[in-house]
């Protein structure tokens, strides 16, 4: 049995995702000797699969309101000190072409590879050392932090945990970040899948899910939160941006309300028609909704008579179609993990633990979850930089 090789650094960053890399680059540029330990055989695997392979790397309308956390004020400081313009400047420095898709979402014109190549180049410039295929087994703390991987032992007075959340376990997501937080006595807000498709119960699945693939622009509401975007019917229930957004606010037992014709009148033309009957209403509804959905929805909501009152009720139902999902599609399909390391435990300026000096948490592992649309990366970049400036 050989003794493990001991390597000493000024700072150790666990996880070569968006947050860990920006943190390491920032600290490296400030002259710190930084090592990034990553279990995968390459950096930024989630960046590569993000945004349908084109990486929605930020959102130009980024505001603290686009984030969910037990403490909605926590993210403000880091987001204000590293803004979408800062990341865009980095993208432009590397001549990566990009475009705005909708709602301020910026995507690479070609492929997300460009972003990981840019981050790799920045790591080289900042002399950051990347240790790939280095799964973290154990973290110890005495005079300094000691991190054990299969092959080596890393030591440093500073440890940054950037190991992400639980979503997409098949590309390597692990609970290690939350485990390290608990090991050091830090509170962790209960985690749950977010930005995730919702599953309907057997009865509603039987009614709607053979329409899988049909999509419509809707306004989806859960509690106080509402999003107007596309909804997609799936084999198991509902997805599409409007549903993914609302899923982050949904919990078991809560109903969601779907306005199938936001800002539109769906039935007046039929009410005012000479012949009031199902065929007229169907024709009018098909102007508003994809025809298969219009036909199915009407068959299931057909009034017994075509009175004015029945029309008023039908119009209401079009705008308040209420469903109670039974579940989400879980971490396998979730874009992010909501919950995480309790922000009360961390400095909002530096992401350092208040209890354990030298221990930092950045990115998705922290209880800050962005809306869909480039906000999660903006949080990862901004929180990473906040810590990197403090190392
Ligand atoms: C399919 C998909 C598409 C997405 N698209 C977008 C998008 O377009 N825009 C957007 O803003 N957000 C998007 N997101 C969310 C975004 O990818 C994440 O919020 C972001 O990557 C979080 O960054 P992070 O650095 O905190 O964590 P991660 O990117 O998850 O990085 C954590 C790293 O830690 C490593 N790690 C974990 N455990 C260990 C261990 N035990 N030992 C060593 N290393 C370990 C992991 O391998 C990983 O490389 C998407 C997510 C998914 C799943």
Q: Which of 209, 222, 224 is nearest to 252 (CA)?
A: 222
For the stretch 236-246, pLDDT in tens is 999 999 999 99
Any ligand 1 atom below 6 A from CB of 256: no
Q: How far apart are CA 112 and CA 300, in angstroms?
A: 43
| Strands (DSSP E) found in 47-195 | 56-59, 67-68, 98-100, 105-108, 129-131, 136-141, 145-149, 152-156, 159-161, 188-194
- Which residue's alpha carbon is nearest to atom 51 within ligand 1? 335
Ligand 1 proximity of 231 Cβ (cutoff 6 Å) = no
41-89 tens-digit pLDDT? 999 999 999 999 999 999 999 999 999 999 999 999 999 999 999 999 9
Residue among 12, 13, 14, 15 whose CB has most ligand 1 atoms within 8 A, to mutate: 15
- Please determine, for residue 34, whether its predicted confidence score (pLDDT) is greater than 70: yes
CA of 282 to the centre of ligand 1 (A): 45
**Ligand 1 contact, 240 CB (< 6 A):** no
Q: Are 373 and 103 in contact (CB under 8 A)?
A: yes
Model confidence, pTM:
0.96
Each residue's pLDDT tens digit, 39-48: 999 999 999 9
What average pLDDT does the segment 10-34 reach? Answer: 98
Please identify which residue in the block is written with the tokens 């997300």. Answer: 112
Is ligand 1 within 6 A of the CB of residue 241? Answer: no
Alpha carbon distance 312, 309 (integer Å): 5
Q: Are strands 256-259 and 321-323 parallel, antiparallel or unpaired?
A: antiparallel
Residue 160 structure tokens: 């940054």
Angle at 142 between CA 25 and CA 14, to 5 degrees: 30
Mutation pick for ligand 1 pocket among 154, 331, 376, 381 (CB with most ligand atoms within 8 Å): 376
The answer to whether 306 and 294 have CB atoms below 8 angstroms apart is no
């Amino acid at each position: 049995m050989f003794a493990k090789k001991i390597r000493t650094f000024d700072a150790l960053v666990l996880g070569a995702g968006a947050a860990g890399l920006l943190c390491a680059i920032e600290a490296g540029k400030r002259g710190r000797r930084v090592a990034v330990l990553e279990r995968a055989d390459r950096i930024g695997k989630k960046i590569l699969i993000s945004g349908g392979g084109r990486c929605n790397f930020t959102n130009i309308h980024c505001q603290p309101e686009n984030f969910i956390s037990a403490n909605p004020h926590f993210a403000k400081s880091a987001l204000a000190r590293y803004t979408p313009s800062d990341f865009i400047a980095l993208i432009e420095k590397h001549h990566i072409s990009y475009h705005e898709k909708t709602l301020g979402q910026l995507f690479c014109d070609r492929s997300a590879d460009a972003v990981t190549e840019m981050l790799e180049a920045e790591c080289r410039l900042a002399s950051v050392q990347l240790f790939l295929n280095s799964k973290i087994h154990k973290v110890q703390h005495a005079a300094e932090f000691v991190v054990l991987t299969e092959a080596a032992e890393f030591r440093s007075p500073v440890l940054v945990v950037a190991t992400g959340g639980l979503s997409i376990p098949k590309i390597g997501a692990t609970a290690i970040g939350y485990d390290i937080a608990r090991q050091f006595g830090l509170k962790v807000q209960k985690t749950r899948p977010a930005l995730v498709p919702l599953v309907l119960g057997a009865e509603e699945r039987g009614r709607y899910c053979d329409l899988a693939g049909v999509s419509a622009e809707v306004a989806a509401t859960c509690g106080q939160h509402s999003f107007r975007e596309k909804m997609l019917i799936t084999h198991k229930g509902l997805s599409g941006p409007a549903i993914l957004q609302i899923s982050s606010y949904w919990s078991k037992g809560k109903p969601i309300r779907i306005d199938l014709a936001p800002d539109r009148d769906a039935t007046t033309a039929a009410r005012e028609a000479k012949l009031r009957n199902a065929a007229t209403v169907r024709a009018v509804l098909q102007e508003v909704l994809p025809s298969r959905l219009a036909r199915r929805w009407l068959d299931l909501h057909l009034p017994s008579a075509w009175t004015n009152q029945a029309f008023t009720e039908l119009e209401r139902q079009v705008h308040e179609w209420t469903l109670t999902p039974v579940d989400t599609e879980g971490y396998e399909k979730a874009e992010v993990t909501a919950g995480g390391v309790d922000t009360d435990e961390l400095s909002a300026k530096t992401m350092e633990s208040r209890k354990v000096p030298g221990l930092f948490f950045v990115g998705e592992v922290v209880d800050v979850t962005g809306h869909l649309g480039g906000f999660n990366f903006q949080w990862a970049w901004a929180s990473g930089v906040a810590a990197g400036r403090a190392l």
